[in-house]
Every structure is written in structure tokens, then in C-alpha cells.
Amino acid sequence: QVQLVESGGGLVQAGGSLRLSCTMSGRTFSSYAMGWFRQAPGKEREFVAAISWNGGSVSVGNSVKGRFTISRDNAKNTVYLQMNNLKPEDTAVYYCAASSTGVTSRSDRVDYWGQGTQVTVSS
């Protein structure tokens, strides 16, 4: 049984930072590209960032480019999302995603989802 467990969400003031973590169990972590999506109330799920199985390829969404960084540690079966200079519009539930088809910004190409972690940025 595959599990993606996110942690690190919370409440932060605008301009602050958070680091999200997502740990996979039940599958070979290094077989998957990993990514992050987010969904704000009343909005569609939005691509944030993705990273290839070995970290050699990275894709970042335009709305977070230059502020968010994705990385992974295959020895720990964990992917990270470092979020800097947070803005109120970054407020959303952040979902970890695993894809066997490579780096993707498409939610329909995600094989597994985490349960989500709330990030709230106050102004």
C-alpha cells in the first residue's frame, strides 16, 4: 500500500518561509518523479513544482518561480518544497504527488497523492 505523508505546513506571515516534506512508503521512491500541487478554496488544483527521479530535471510553476525550490533525498524517500517570501495568495492545501511517467505539471498523470497539508499566509 502506497502512502505519501506530508508535513511542515502551518501559519506564517507574509515574507516568511516554510519547508514542506513528503515521505513515500510502499513503493520504490527512486522510481517516481515527485511533485507538489496546491488547491485554494474555490479554485482548481494548481501545479507548483516537480522533480525527476534523480533530481536532474526540475519544473517550477510560474506563480512560484524564484521563491519555491523542490528537492529530494532518495536515501530518505523524501521530497521537499522550500517556500520563501511567502505571499497571502500562496495560501492553499499543498499536495505531494508521485508520477511514474516523469516530471509533469498535469494532475491526470499523477499516480499517487498525499493527503495534503494546509499552508496559510497572513498579510
80-91 pLDDT per residue, tens: 999 999 999 999
C-alpha cell at 66: 524564484
18-45 pLDDT per residue, tens: 999 999 999 999 999 999 999 999 999 9
Torsion of CA 40, 46, 78, 21, to 10 degrees: -20
CA distances from 14 to 3, 64, 107 (A): 31, 14, 28
47-93 pLDDT per residue, tens: 999 999 999 999 999 999 999 999 999 999 999 999 999 999 999 99
Q: In sequence order, which residues have a C-beta less than 8 Å from that of residue 104 and are 6 or more positions away? A: 33, 35, 50, 110
pLDDT at 11: 98
Q: Tell me the CB-side half-sphere exposure of residue 107, using CA atoms within 13 A.
A: 13
Band (pLDDT 50/70/90 cuts) for residue 2 is: very high
Q: What is the mean pLDDT of the chain?
A: 97
CB-CB neighbours of 58 under 10 Å: 15
